[in-house]
Amino acid sequence: MQSSPSTAQPSPDTRQLRRVALSGLLGTAVEFYDFLVYGTVAALVFGDLFFPKADPAVGTIAAFGTFAAGYVARPLGGIVFGHFGDRIGRKSMMLLTMALMGCGSFLIGVLPTYDAIGVWAPVLLVALRVVQGIAIGGEWGGATLMVVEHAERTQSGRRGMWTSFTMLGAPLGSVLSAGMVTLVSTLPDDQFRAWGWRVPFLLSIVLLAVGLFVRLKVAESPLFAQVKREPLEKPPVVEVLRRPKPVLMACGVGIGAFTAQSLLTGFMISYAVDHGYSRSQVLTAVTVASCVALLVLPAASALSDRVGRRPVVLTGAVASAALAFPVLALVDSGSPGLLILALALGHGVAQSTMYGPLGALLTEMFGTRVRYTGASLGYQAATLVGAGFSPLVASSLLASYGGGSTPVSLLLCGGAAVTALTVWRLRETRTNALEHAEPHSVTPTPEGTPR
């Protein structure tokens, strides 16, 4: 007796897609948790424990390491893991990036401080931060591609919705890291400095075990399996950069989202504290904004499946620019409630609307043989330009112009303008048939053309 359509079991492909989406969510959340814990703890205690001001050489290491490890290493990770992901496979690179991130974070948790081993403490800390940067640089591309390429076989019209699971890893990791650091920071100051700060890093080994368990159960991308027998004549990065327009467009699309993310989360901690808020009030506001993002981001991604990637991203960019001055005015009010509202609007709503469709949009711009390299390079270049330089520029402008919030608002507007202009130049990718895509292209399958 045949099952009715309402009681039919999901196909093996659909069950595998759900498993891949879950692995993308958990894996990306774990990686962002590890990456963001470093930044929060560094702001609290690393200056005294690893970079004492009395040693000029250590100060130089700190200045170089903060920049290089945080952002320059991410595009490098995208290139390295993209190369092997396009040649060997997506799944193996996903496992490797997670293992690198988890082990790097755990080792930070057991690292001796400057008082114990001298200058080797900051040297090793920066080296482990580089490992983290390289790992997260390769993580996003592998996790997102696995979801997109599995969805192509069963639900290609809902690629945005399915990739939102991977994109949710960033706000979920932010919530987990802020919550954990807030919890351990309630310890007495001497205990927090002695051992409490290590707990969030040591927890990484547990999260790593869970993430690897889930990822080991997913199958390799079916689209990659089809083209693996056709090796590229040149390295993927050479193929991609031979015609760099798609990478440049991918970078431009992401700059607004990453500028807003950087200024309204990491940079905002120091900015708001300097304006009279307590650290716990700011961490609470960031956590609430990330929780709002957990709702807005999948909604924006799903909407992009219906109306297109371009209108949704453009709406987010316009909203980010329109809210830039009001958001900073709310922050400058000194009210903890208005601070929460400001970050919820600027980060939770506007930034998430820009960010949500990026997973589907960027992967749809490249062919299967170079998709890992192309999408990763565009995405990580956007993080370097948008998130890497924005806090430095904002701090410099604030120092030069008396501390008013206008420079921060203008930077938010500038990042949103870059995204809006790039989206205006980009043709819609929602209808791209991934299995028929050229090696790297921004030209979609025409609307209505059979795939």
How much is the mean pLDDT over the chain? 82
Show the 3-state SS of the chain: CCCCCCCCCCCHHHHHHHHHHHHHHHHHHHHHHHHHHHHHHHHHHHHHHHCCCCCHHHHHHHHHHHHHHHHHHHHHHHHHHHHHHHHCCHHHHHHHHHHHHHHHHHHHHCCCCHHHHCCHHHHHHHHHHHHHHHHHHHHHHHHHHHHHHHHHHHCHHHHHHHHHHHHCHHHHHHHHHHHHHHHHCCCCHHHHHHCHHHHHHHCHHHHHHHHHHHHCCCCCCHHHHHHCCCCCCCCHHHHHHHCCHHHHHHHHHHHHHHHHHHHHCHHHHHHHHHCCCCHHHHHHHHHHHHHHHHHHHHHHHHHHHHHCHHHHHHHHHHHHHHHHHHHHHHHHCCCHHHHHHHHHHHHHHHHHHHHCCHHHHHHCCECHHHHHHHHHHHHHHHHHHHHHHHHHHHHHHHHHCCCCCHHHHHHHHHHHHHHHHHHHHCCCCCCCCHHHCCCECCCCCCCCCCC
Question: CATH homologous superfamily of domain 13-217?
Answer: MFS general substrate transporter like domains (1.20.1250.20)
Q: Which two tokens stand for residue 291?
A: 């929780």
pLDDT, one tens digit per residue, over 83-138 is 888 888 778 888 888 888 889 889 999 999 988 998 888 889 888 888 888 888 88
Q: What are the pLDDT digits (tens) for 211-233?
A: 888 888 777 777 777 666 666 66
Q: Residue 6 pLDDT > 50, yes or no?
A: no
Identify the band that residue 413 occupies on the pLDDT scale cut at 50, 70 and 90: very high
Assign domain 241-451 to its CATH superfamily: MFS general substrate transporter like domains (1.20.1250.20)
Residues of the chain with CATH 1.20.1250.20: 13-217, 241-451
Q: What is the pLDDT of residue 317?
A: 97
- Indicate whether this model's pTM tops 0.75: yes
